[in-house]
Amino acid sequence: MRAIVVGAGVVGFDVAKLLSHAEHDVVVIDSDPEALAHVNEKLDVMTVCGNGTSTAVLEEAGIRNSRILIAVTAIDEVNIIACMLADRMGVETTVARVRSDELANTKTVLNAADFGIDLVIHPEESAAEEIVRLIRRASATDVVMLANDRLHIVGLRLESDSPVIGRSLRDVVSEGEKIRFRVMAIVRGIRTILPKGDERFRKNDQIFVLARPKSVPPMLEIFGKRDRRIQNVMILGGTDIGVKVAYQLSMEKHKSIKLIESNRQRAEQLAELLGSVLVIHGDVTDIDLLVTEGLSDMDAFVAVTDDEESNLVTCLLAKHLTVRKTVALLSKGAYIPISQSIGLDAAVNKKLAVSREIMRFLRGKHIKSVATVHGMDAEILEIEASPRSYITSDILMNLKLPSGVLLAAVSKGSDIDIAMGMTRVEPGNSAFLFVMPGQITKAEALFATP
């Protein structure tokens, strides 16, 4: 498949890398020769120097033979026009990264379809929603929602005092059999394990547990965690993400929110916009300011400035001052894998929102959704079972699933079940699977009509 990526920035580079690794024919367009030189040096893709809104540049990139165009420049208008041109020139699927909420507004005169855009991605909004979920689940390092929020995947780090350390997965599950949950993955060092019943938990294991929302609190207790309420939150950075997080949290009862912004004019604007949020003008790198404004009294600290180093350092300071929950906005590949090992509770990466949607388009129509989690190699796929497919032939305990494929839950209309040995997938049901790299084709084959 030929794919065109407009924009060779951080997000564009990541999307091109994803497509290239999936063995697609990729062309990257950008007007910055230096950015393209970096792409050429690191990736096995073609590049075209020029503006993505130029039909001549698009023709040079092979737009007539392309199946998908993904526009992820820093300028909304460029992304929208590039997708509009691609649609008019016969491209099957167009994806635009748009920061403005205008196209998502139901009251707006024009919507995405009017511009020929199949999918609009708001990475900043997705990142803000993820941060809010992490604040609400104070004990979690990750929270991923599936099946329209009917299932949660909760990431937990096992401390030395966890009651499950040294015990087998089978024993822990049997103890909590009244609470329906499944431990779907364990990240141990740099390894991702899809565990079997005899796998034993170890100190510092990062585990990912699937459960219904109402089962999460009792599940946390089994692993020695408590979902304590967070009331006082300090947000560093009046970026779009910081504003969205502050607004959403300020709508909840019993929450006190402080937001620190270094630009005076921006701080004054936000003070008017966020009436119930205390907006403070000050240098976001001023440690004394953070301490003076009560950092040590906070329940949670969120750093979402455009300076990743500042986000990392200030979160480590907050953790040193015993702030219970720290969340940093990080994008650099070198930072994310080590973030939790050096003391952060959670890292959020806005590039993931783009990657997840692109993967869904690449997988095919029978795959209804794709999710990924920081630091975990496995993908989470939602696949619909076709008639006469292998997965529908018997109950789960009698099926031989490939190594590296773990069935997590089954959605049957309005009902959803955590998968157990007696679970049976019927044609038309949607199943959620954890799938290791290299096993996706085998996982898809389980659900296809022979």
CA 372 to CA 359: how far, in whole Å? 10
Residues 407 and 431 sit within 8 Å (Cβ to Cβ): yes
pLDDT tens string 120-173: 888 888 889 889 988 988 788 888 888 878 889 998 989 888 999 999 999 998
pLDDT for 106 equals 46
Q: Which residue has the tokens 């389980």?
A: 446
CA 41 to CA 8: how far, in whole Å? 12
pLDDT for 109 equals 47
Go through 417-443 and write b for each residue having 16 or more CB atoms within 10 A of its CB, e for each that does not: bbbeeebbbeeebbbbbbbbeebbeeb
CA 240 to CA 131: how far, in whole Å? 13
Predicted confidence (pLDDT) at residue 333 exceeds the cutoff of 70: no
CA 168 to CA 165: how far, in whole Å? 9
pLDDT class for 103, splitting at 50, 70, 90?
A: low
pLDDT class for 102, splitting at 50, 70, 90?
A: low
Predicted confidence (pLDDT) at residue 351 exceeds the cutoff of 90: no
Quick one: average pLDDT of 205-223?
A: 91
Report helix, strand or coil for 70. Answer: strand
**Phi-psi category of residue 375: left, alpha or beta, with phi > 0 → left and psi -120 to 50 → alpha:** left
pLDDT tens string 422-439: 999 999 999 999 888 778
Predicted confidence (pLDDT) at residue 369 exceeds the cutoff of 80: no
Quick one: average pLDDT of 381-394?
A: 92
pLDDT tens string 158-192: 988 899 999 999 999 887 777 889 899 998 877 88
Residues 120 and 185 sit within 8 Å (Cβ to Cβ): no
Domains in the chain with CATH codes = 2-121 (3.40.50.720), 139-222 (3.30.70.1450), 232-348 (3.40.50.720), 378-446 (3.30.70.1450)
Predicted confidence (pLDDT) at residue 248 exceeds the cutoff of 50: yes
Lowest mean pLDDT among 144-148, 334-338, 415-419: 334-338
Lateral strand order in the sheet of 2-6 = 46-49, 25-30, 2-6, 68-71, 93-97, 119-121
